[in-house]
Chain A
Amino acid sequence: MGKFIIETNNLSFGYDKMVPVFDKINLQVETSAIYGFVGPNGAGKTTLIRLLLGLLPHQTGQITLFGKHLANNRIDILSRLGCLVEQPSLYENLTGRDNLRITCMIRGLPKHSIHTVLKMTGLTDAADKRVDAYSLGMKQRLGLAMALLPEPALLVLDEPVNGLDPTGIIEVRELLIHLNKEYGTTIFLSSHLLSELEKLVTHIGVLQKGALVFQGSTAELETIQQQQSFVIVDTSNNQACFSLLKNDSSLISFKGDQLMVPYRDKMEIGDLCKKIVLAGLSIYEVKVVQHDLEDIFMKLTTN
């Protein structure tokens, strides 16, 4: 297996051949990464996850997981990954334990693994209840337990915290981080909760209108974040201040009456203020405006 545990090469797909859901996607998920996959509703996140799991016949391009082509090695690949697609698929007429038993028997796993995943997901007490009596959050936990059952090298999760209460979200986040840190499990997950992804992922991919508009590590994202951060400066004479600072950076501009100066690090703010004061200008306001993941997501998906 190479550097990437999931790789797609010019992957295109459309339910209707004339209307592609996405076109020539080159997804690259590094081994042992936590890859967050974001995009607005209808961007094709679930469709891509379904393609990666072989649930849809892909039209053109290649899908490689664990260094093997999905088309020819489906069973081998599926035996090494755990997944949760959209709402969990559960037999509601059965108990939680029976649902896990079915997965366990098909995967040829020992019975004690059921106990382990029940404990991990906090479902031990509800294991013998019928699933139709479970809350949405409990169903989500059971779906996660089923995905964790084979101790997979790769977890593919579509909206894993959907329906969970804040405590549940924190528990799932900690569990995923633990799996990643402790066992090197690669996690590929999609979520609408950007603030949640921000706390969890090491890599991120942004899907918009059938194209991957960003893909990279959170460090790369931070660079973009920094590039798009700025300092708002308001002085006694903004025109004079503009003339003073424009030699330092051509990116200085006006935002209304105030000045907008590119922000690199906080050390520079001191130098900036010193320079303005030494020029005999009074400073009324200096404010750093930084983008969070949500702002960057909005920028990437609306441009």
Chain B
Amino acid sequence: MTRFWPSFLTEIIKIKNSFAKWLILVGAFLMPAFVAFVALTKWKHLVNEVHDHPWALFSEMTWKGMAFFYSVFFIVLLICLYFNIEYKNNTWKQVFTLPIRKGQVYINKLLAVVLFVVCYYILFVPCWILLGYLLGAIRPQLQLTTHMPDLELLLQHCFHSIISSLSIIAIHIWLSIRFKNMIIPIGLAVFCSIVMVALFQGSAMEVKYFPYAYHYLSVTRPYFFHESKWGLLPEHEWYSLGFFFVFTLLGYWDFTRKFSGNQ
């Protein structure tokens, strides 16, 4: 029986020099950099909105961007690129001729994706703070250097962001097992993003049952959306955990029984 840690660590080695690794590194920097750039070009307008809470404004701008870019494009692309390493190199047959259970391979892959997402946040937090201070140094009028960022709120956002993303992680891992061609999961994600926008435009409360909207619901508060909090988490995040559980089981079943890498 293959030990867990060595086999799990091989999943980390596999992303060396790959697009998936660069997506994590560049992605963590991209959104704060984009928001900082927008703030730099529209600083005169933003100065009037600061009201002594410059970091709260910078945070809101960043998380609104994150809600769209991160949940749909980052996660879907990351999973597709990560699974594509095996498809492109035709290495599934190598994986399945090693003395390791298929179930363990699946668990390793799932945990690796979750770890990559956590790594993304670990890189995102310092990037966000650094770019905030840099912006403040260039435009002192924005008061970012004279105030402290609200780290507690930032970490809370990160925590809820990860929980709400779990549903899409499990769904897209399952899709990457079902379809060798990465255009299919990406196409589906784009379509679901359009549906999400339509649901928000229609102020539909049913949005809480739609996994592609969970990240947006966690990091912003649409005016029409009211939901109860069950324990530590809001209702839709419990649903996210539910989707994660169901699709993880479905993926496990598919992977261990049918998957051969030739789909």
Contact = CB atoms under 8 A, between A and B. Distances in A.
Given A92-B89, A108-B3, A53 B97 contact: yes
Interface stretch (A36-44, A83-91, A240-248, A269-277): A83-91
A89 B7 contact: no
Nearest to B20: A93
B24 to A, nearest CB: 15
Contacts of B97: 53-55, 78, 83, 85
Contacts of B13: 94, 98, 101-102
Interface string A69-102: 0000001101100010101011111100010011
Interface string A39-58: 00000000000100111100
A271 to B, nearest CB: 56
Interface string B42-62: 000000000000000000000
B231 interface: no
A256 B98 CA distance: 58
A89 B90 contact: yes
Interface in A147-177: none
A107 B92 CA distance: 16
B220 interface: no
A192 interface: no
Contacts of A85: 93, 97
A107 B18 CA distance: 24
A209 interface: no
Contacts of B241: none
A93 to B, nearest CB: 4
A55 B96 contact: yes
Contacts of A54: 96-97
A98 B85 CA distance: 14
B260 A91 contact: no
Contacts of A50: 93
Given A79-B99, A106-B99, A130 B89 contact: no
A105 interface: yes
A50 to B, nearest CB: 8
A144 to B, nearest CB: 13
Interface string A19-41: 00000000000000000000000
B17 interface: yes
Contact of A89 (B6, B9, B18, B93): B93
B17 A93 contact: yes
B6 A130 contact: no
B18 A90 contact: no
Given A56-B260, A94-B17, A108 B2 contact: yes
Contacts of B16: 93-94, 98
Given A89-B90, A93-B16, A108-B2, A102 B99 contact: no
Contacts, number: 75
A93 B6 contact: no
A76 B101 CA distance: 11
A260 to B, nearest CB: 49
Given A92-B89, A98-B16, A106-B7, A75 B96 contact: no
A282 interface: no
Interface residues of A, number: 28
Contacts of A53: 96-97
B94 to A, nearest CB: 3
Nearest to A77: B99
Contacts of B14: 91, 94, 102
Interface string A168-200: 000000000000000000000000000000000
B98 A78 contact: yes
Given A56-B260, A75-B101, A89 B2 contact: no
A238 interface: no
Contacts of B18: 93
A103 interface: yes
B93 A102 contact: no
B250 interface: no
Nearest to A81: B97
A76 B13 CA distance: 25
B181 interface: no
Contact of A78 (B7, B92, B99, B260): B99
A90 B91 CA distance: 6
A89 B94 contact: yes
A106 B98 contact: yes
B100 interface: yes
9 contacts: A54-B96, A75-B101, A93-B16, A93-B17, A102-B10, A103-B94, A105-B7, A106-B10, A108-B6
Interface of B: 1-3, 6-7, 9-10, 13-14, 16-18, 85, 88-94, 96-101, 260
Of all A-B residue pairs in the complex, the 5 with the closest CB atoms, nearest first, are A89-B94, A79-B99, A105-B6, A78-B99, A93-B17
Given A78-B97, A102-B13, A106-B10, 8 more contacts: A75-B99, A85-B93, A85-B97, A89-B93, A92-B89, A98-B13, A107-B98, A108-B3
